[in-house]
Homo-oligomer: A and B are copies of this chain.
Amino acid sequence: MKTSLVAVDLHGQGCADCAVRGFSVCASLDQFEMREFEHLSRRVNFASCETVFAQEDTSSFFYNLLDGVLRLYKLLPDGRRQIVGFVLPGDFVGMTTEERHGFSADAIGPVTVCQFAKMPFARFADDKPNLLRRMNELAVHELNQARDHMVLLGRRSAEEKVATFLVGWRDRLVELRGPSNIVPLPMSRQDIADYLGLTIETVSRTFTKLEREGIIAILPGGVSLRDSARAEALAAA
């Protein structure tokens, strides 16, 4: 909720050695473009629970997540919250033509982002079809994810929701750090509930139920997918 006072700003110490270089937006840039691009960005750190940007903020920056996890959420005036996505390293956030962000982003645990000022970035991208195409690709991909999530929110039971979330989250981590059925869950139960359109109690009960059924084991800080076939079946059907 609070905004960073202690964020350490260090100029992007080269994109060449960036952890995210190979698979983020920047993957579409050649060597020379990259050289220029470096000067548009700077690294910023945020502590756990700090807000990277808020719903009502003017959208003057884009961010590329380098390390950590973000939650993106929207709040209704009465405080109800819907988490619209979790962000992992390599994901690009906040790209919008609109005046304001429309959603908030905050850090789940310590986070490092690569921050771009909107205007210089837009000027840079303006005549780079490869970058523009890559950004399109990312937007379309996110849109597809968003639509899948609509199906989940509108038409699935609590058990299906939780199973789908666990399988989906595992798959994203597998892509990032290699195969494993141990699924770390850095976000709280409340976060999971607000992502799935449930209450914290229902999430907790559903975890317990899945454990009783032998589908998962609940570990400190995460779960293990004991029977991923059955979890995937719940997620698919």
User: Using a CB–CB distance below 8 Å, which chain A residues touch chain B?
Assistant: 74, 76-78, 80-82, 84, 95-98, 102-103, 126-129, 132-133, 135-137, 139-144, 146-151, 153-156, 194, 196-197, 236-237
Contacts and interface: CB of A to CB of B under 8 A. Distances in A.
A77 B235 CA distance: 11
Summarize A's interface: helix, strand, loop or mixed. helix
B151 A150 contact: no
Contacts of A135: 136
Contacts of A150: 74, 82, 84, 146, 149-150, 153
Contacts of A237: 76-78
A158 to B, nearest CB: 12
Given A126-B129, A140-B95, A154-B197, A147 B77 contact: no
A103 B149 CA distance: 13
